[in-house]
């Protein structure tokens, strides 16, 4: 497996030794390049996910989806982006101007912040702290604030109601997400995201194999709670068009609305990427202990493993969205507090027992 840190060290050495730059300029250049890479990947993945959503939705509804703009409709998303960029931006007269403009940026900051923690390849972690998992859950909570402020600042009763629904739903389901992640931390013994992936690099060492039944249950709960955390169907009650028009972003237009639209799809990718990282090995290839097979799998670049696993989870979450009808608010909260939350606690206890008695599945 290629270690991308070799490239990073070579580039750092190029700036310091060959170009003779000091620490300040080296760090500045590297931060700017990394920031541009994050924004570029963010934008490209949003386009891919929107197109994928439309095609998957069409498949489940026995349609063909966009086909007219570009080959197989591939340019339809670009046309929509262009249209959104030139849309007039209007402001509600009685809106709280400061909070109204601030809310979309909070959602984007939370989305980009969590996106930056995803491990794309060995040595290609943009942010990799020893408490990385803790920081991911902390930064993702900023998005709840952005949604609630958007509804409140819009001075629209439907937006306020939508913001209250979205906030209570996201805060509730964060508990199940956190407990599932803690179960993985207990199994791997580290909160560092790169360490969690490294713990899954041996034969049959993905967490769903290592932790067997508790880990599989944690993966399922994580996917369900992650769908709710991303405000996607059947948990999209905050955007129930038949009741609340467009929900908390009803009064937004142009790029204000575009930020929320963008963040929804990238949050889907972040949730799927975390599920792939924590439970499916991230960039780690699948090894089964057969030398020839494992050698071939190790030649596949880690970024392809990561993207393949992530888009597999993305497809599962889209499948859920276009299969089940939207739930009522009482059903959503009952599902979390009466079923997922107790199940997450049971999973946590089971995982602790498995680790304490060494009942995990490992191959030396």
**Torsion angle defined by CA atoms of residues 351, 352, 357 and 363, in that order, rounded to the nearest 10 degrees:** 40
| pLDDT string in tens for the chain (364-residue length) | 678 888 888 998 999 888 888 888 999 999 999 999 998 998 899 999 999 999 999 998 888 888 888 888 888 888 888 888 888 777 787 888 888 889 999 999 999 999 999 999 988 888 888 888 989 989 988 988 988 898 888 888 888 888 888 888 888 999 999 999 999 999 999 999 999 999 998 888 899 998 889 999 999 999 999 999 888 878 888 777 667 677 788 888 888 888 888 888 999 999 999 999 999 999 999 988 888 888 899 899 999 999 999 999 999 999 998 888 888 888 999 999 999 999 999 999 999 999 999 888 876 5
Q: Is 247 left (phi over 0), alpha (psi -120 to 50) or beta?
A: left
What domain range includes position 245? Answer: 95-356
98, 89 Cβ separation under 8 angstroms:
no
Bridge partners, residue 125, by sequence:
119
* Tokens describing residue 181: 């992640």
Please tell me whether residue 20 adopts helix, strand or coil conformation.
Answer: coil
254, 100 Cβ separation under 8 angstroms:
no
Task: Confirm whether 362 is domain-assigned.
Answer: no
Task: Confirm whether 88 is domain-assigned.
Answer: no
Task: Confirm whether 2 is domain-assigned.
Answer: no
Task: Confirm whether 275 is domain-assigned.
Answer: yes
Task: Confirm whether 152 is domain-assigned.
Answer: yes
Task: Confirm whether 331 is domain-assigned.
Answer: yes
The domain total for the chain is: 1
């Amino acid at each position: 497996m290629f270690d991308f840190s070799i490239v990073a060290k070579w580039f750092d050495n190029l700036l310091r030794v060959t170009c003779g730059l000091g620490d300040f300029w080296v760090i500045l250049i590297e931060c700017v390049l990394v920031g541009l890479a994050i924004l570029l990947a963010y934008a490209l993945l949003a386009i891919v996910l929107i197109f994928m959503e439309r095609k998957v939705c069409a498949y489940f509804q026995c349609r063909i989806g966009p086909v007219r703009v570009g080959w197989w409709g591939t340019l339809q998303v670009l046309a929509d982006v262009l249209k959104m960029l030139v849309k007039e931006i209007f402001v509600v007269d009685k809106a709280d101007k400061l909070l109204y403009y601030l809310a979309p940026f909070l959602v984007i900051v939370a989305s980009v912040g969590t996106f930056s923690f995803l491990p794309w390849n060995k040595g290609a972690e943009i942010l990799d702290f020893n408490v990385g998992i803790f920081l991911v859950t902390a930064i993702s909570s900023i998005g709840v604030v952005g949604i609630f402020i958007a509804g409140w600042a819009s001075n629209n009763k439907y937006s306020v109601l939508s913001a209250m629904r979205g906030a209570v739903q996201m805060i509730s389901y964060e508990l199940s997400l956190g407990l599932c992640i803690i179960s993985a931390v207990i199994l791997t013994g580290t909160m560092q995201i790169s360490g969690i992936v490294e713990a899954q690099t041996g034969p049959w060492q993905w967490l769903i194999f290592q932790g067997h039944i508790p880990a599989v249950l944690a993966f399922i709960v994580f996917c369900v709670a992650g769908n709710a955390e991303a405000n996607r169907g059947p948990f999209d009650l905050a955007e129930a068009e038949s009741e609340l028009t467009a929900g908390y972003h009803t009064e937004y237009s142009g790029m204000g609305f575009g930020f929320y639209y963008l963040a929804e799809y990238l949050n889907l990718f972040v949730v799927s990427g975390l599920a792939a990282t924590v439970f499916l090995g991230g960039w780690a290839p699948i090894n089964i202990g057969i030398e020839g097979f494992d050698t071939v799998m190790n030649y596949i670049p880690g970024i392809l493993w990561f993207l393949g696993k992530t888009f597999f989870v993305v497809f599962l979450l889209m499948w859920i969205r276009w299969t089940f009808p939207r739930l009522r608010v009482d059903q959503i909260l009952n599902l979390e507090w009466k079923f997922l939350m107790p199940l997450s606690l049971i999973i946590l206890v089971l995982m602790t027992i498995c680790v304490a008695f060494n009942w995990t599945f490992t191959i030396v």
